[in-house]
A and B are shown apart, each in its own frame.
Chain A
Amino acid sequence: MSSATLDTRQHPTADQASQWRLMWWAFRRHKLAVTGLIIVFLLYFIAAFAEVIAPYDPDLSNARAINHPPQGLHLIKTGPDGGWRFQPHVTAMAQKRDPMTLATTFAPDPTRTVDIEIFGKGAPVTMWGLFTVERRLIAPKVPGERFYLIGADRLGRDMLSRIIYGTRISMSIGLIGVAMSLVLGILLGGLSGYYGGWVDATVQRIVEFKLSMPTIPIWLGLSAALPQDWPPTWRYFAITVILSLIGWTELARVVRGRFLALRTEDFVVAARLDGCSQMRVIFRHMLPSMVSHIIASVSLAIPMMIIAETSLSFLGLGLLPPTISWGVLLKEAQNVRTIAEAPWLFSPGVAVCIAVLALNFLGDGMRDAADPYAQEGR
């Protein structure tokens, strides 16, 4: 019986479909993975265009909006005459101070609204350190007015803007960290799998040793060793290196396993007999068969990196303010008082959940689609 992925009845062009086309067909059937792909794409889009998407500067504080609660976004505005028009807005909130406890509380003030404009003008910001933009995806119609869609933190900074800027660091640390692990993993795993013998034994013992060490104490130890006076960018790269030094082991195993499996495949033997050089056998015949598996394990490794960075920063040993990452933001929500008074400070945790779940679904789908030539049901 023919396997369904290779069925010419479904795809009239299947005869000439390359590996990537077949993988895409197999991937597309995995609805959850496609959803994951869309979400991941959106997250990286947000990370890339954080300056335009975030309504405010993430470090812009406001003494009158300390722990300001979230304001609901309304789309339709009704006039006093009963007519209505499309006008996104939020209801403003008035600050009150309890005369007894001196605690501040916020209550909606139905008489005042903050109108929101799409692609309105905001404060000028330097995009990617290259040029200045003023337009924002959402901005208050009246310059200088403030709105807090998911609340503000203890310095009155807009959480939404902070989470959007945090996306940039958190999502990129996963990518860069995995890229570094990948180089190490492919190099060491490839050597191990291709040469075998004592090279293999040495690399595998190193991998086993690394896997046997508890990760969190190692991260803690290494990041504690970082000088506290390093600038944020140095620290960022140092943390990535630390994460990837631990993360390469899994990838090395995957690569080695594929090499071992492929080395004895008939078509690889045939390539050798065709007179291909060793380099050509590896790069023309073996690597293309592994790329899909590698991509799949990479997409499963990124969420691990994101979680690792979040945990480290949460413990105060990873990135430090003023750098903004989801972990740094969550550090603000470390105590019980926050849970009671400003639960919206947990919202970066929601962002972490969404990102990790989306990447995991994506990775699962990619792993299933990775070998379009495997028969169905195996």
Chain B
Amino acid sequence: MTAPLRPADLTAPAVIEVKNLVTEFATRHGPFRAVDDVSFSLKPGKTLCLVGESGSGKSVTARSILQIVDPPGRIVSGSVMLNRHLTARGAEAGIHSIDLAALNPRSAAIRAIRGRDIAMIFQEPMSSLSPVHTIGNQIGEAIRLHENVTKKEARARVIDLLRKVEIPNPDKTIDRYPFEYSGGMRQRAMIAMALACSPGVLIADEPTTALDVTTQAEILSLIKKLQDSEGMSVLFITHDMGVVAEIADEVAVMRYGKIVEQGETLAIFENPQHDYTKMLLGSVKQLDKPSPRRLARRAAHPPGETLLSVENLNKTFFIDSGSFFKTGEALKAVDGVTLTLRAGENLGIVGESGSGKSTLGRTIIRVYEANGGAINYTFRDGRTVDLAALKDRALAPARRDLRMVFQDPFASLNPRMTVAQIVGEPLLVNGLAQGEALKARVAELLGMVGLPASAMERYPHAFSGGQRQRIGIARAIALEPRIIIADEATSALDVSLRSQVLDLLLELQERLNLSFIFISHDIAVIRYFCDRIAVMYRGKIVEEGPTEEVCTHPRHAYTQSLLSAVPHPDPRMRGTRVRTRYREAP
């Protein structure tokens, strides 16, 4: 559905010209430069992707253009020229250029430009819409702020807009509140609001990051379609190289507040000049295909006996009898799941948010009680025990063999304990080591995950996300487990760290004879790491099989739609694939 790659005319005049922009945040130890001497230009009707990892200053750059940087941040120097006459909308207005950086952030002049000439959409569609106003009111307000129209006219315009962003039954849904919309519909409503005054420029700050991959694909194609029909220029901010390859005409790569490289999409992807761009593309391309290391290992050591077999597992949540809901409403998060995991094997569980994949992982390790079914685990001595039937106290031996790595490296480590205490905790409470022996073992574990022994006395806040995830892994392997359930273990990490952590897990698998259940929404990561894959949809496993087979020849319609929505980090693939949409048979 996406448009084919168009050659960008680098000499064309720009709608927005950013020159030597510097934005600083005042901190108690001197100014911190979030945007450091950034220059780029946005061509009429084109899409410029600003790409970078977390903390690179890409969002602050976008906010600087509209002068909506949160205090204590402020623009220190540089200019942001808006050439209004070059936008599709302002063409009739005559030659008219404004330096946005010179305007007062609270002036009427900049307010007249926000929303009218330049509109912005944000990452979190729930928090960027007001929960107490109907969608229609919020979009209508945007129109009536800038144009002199009656309420009735505004309403008609809003219905038109909602139709344009493909929201079903716009004349009814206009009176709904944001909480009645799904995530994707909210983002559509945000886009409708942004389009309300047909702006010449749309700034989209990670608009699809909070969305599922199938929804992301729909939103991306919607933006592209609207851009073509309205003649907008789009400044698209993202961390995802796949998204860049899908939509960008030009790319600017940011790092530490500076643009390290910019140019046409094809040139950047096929002939990156800067080392950072090469590294970024390298780590993206490294994923999305099987890890050679894993394949070599499986050839030498094929997976062994069945370790864990989950049979017909059910987990139902009862929504509390709070007065706002009907009493005892049941939500089947895991619905009759049957799985097996063999020794030395990596099983991937893939699904979108709300598919029940995290609940499945947590039910297997008995954080949640199962409502039915069996979790048969075979111990080292050959005994097979149904974990679902065990009392909480009898679980201890099984919990030494089954360990978990969490998604959020910040929330999963107790901030009030040192790294030595965190990693040593399972050894200590299981009575395996104490005193000097404990210290030595912790140092050894930290060494295994690639952290220095000097990390022991420090607190988690001293470490970056990737290092924290390594601490979490060290805690998981402390008891010499046999199975590790990794719940979105790499999702919170930047792409360059993702493959490092996955390689670490593979290395540990070889050294410690581990088996993994790897839960993720990211097919690329699963493809790199997992031997087999189970696709979950609404609590059920819809398809299961060897990873490569499922990825290349998906049989179930849901898997097909999921795979067709994944953006590919190759601009030449743009528009070559047919995206399907899965609708459950009623």
Contact = CB atoms under 8 A, between A and B. Distances in A.
Interface stretch (B171-179, B186-194, B413-421): B413-421
A271 B411 CA distance: 12
A266 interface: yes
A272 B25 CA distance: 41
A186 B134 CA distance: 42
Given A19-B416, A267-B413, A377-B70, A1 B429 contact: no
A273 B28 contact: no
A19 B421 CA distance: 14
A90 to B, nearest CB: 47
B403 A273 contact: yes
Nearest to B403: A273
Interface stretch (B40-48, B219-227, B453-461): B453-461
A24 interface: no
Which of A7, A267, A276 has the most chain B CB within a 10 Å cutoff? A267
A15 B412 contact: no
A1 B55 contact: yes
B426 A274 contact: yes
- Most chain A CB atoms below 10 A, which of B32, B403, B416, B458: B416
B84 interface: no
Interface string B429-446: 110000000000000000
A208 interface: no
B390 interface: no
Contact of A275 (B399, B408, B414): B399
Nearest to A20: B416
Contacts of A269: 367, 404, 406
Given A7-B29, A19-B415, A271 B425 contact: yes
A289 interface: yes
B475 A266 contact: no
Given A273-B365, A273-B404, A16 B459 contact: yes
Among A4, A15, A19, A280, max chain B CB count under 10 A is at A15
Contacts of B416: 18-19, 288-289
Interface size class of chain B, counting residues whose CB lies under 8 Å from the partner chain: 35 or more
Contacts of B95: none
Interface in A241-275: 265-267, 269-275
A297 B414 CA distance: 22
Contacts of A280: 429
A121 interface: no
B459 A275 contact: no
A293 interface: no
B27 interface: yes
Nearest to A1: B55
Interface in B351-372: 365, 367
A7 B30 CA distance: 12
B414 A15 contact: no
B400 interface: yes
B413 A275 contact: no
B28 A271 contact: no
A139 B73 CA distance: 58
Given A269-B367, A377-B70, A275 B462 contact: no
Nearest to B72: A377
Given A270-B404, A275-B430, A373 B415 contact: yes
Interface in B371-418: 396, 399-400, 403-404, 406-408, 411-416, 418
A60 interface: no
A9 B32 CA distance: 12
23 contacts: A7-B29, A9-B29, A16-B457, A16-B458, A22-B461, A265-B411, A266-B411, A267-B411, A267-B413, A267-B415, A269-B406, A270-B404, A271-B414, A273-B365, A273-B367, A273-B399, A275-B396, A275-B426, A276-B429, A277-B429, A280-B429, A285-B414, A288-B416
Instruction: Identify the 3 closest CB pairs spanning chains A and B, nearest first.
Output: A15-B462, A266-B412, A274-B426
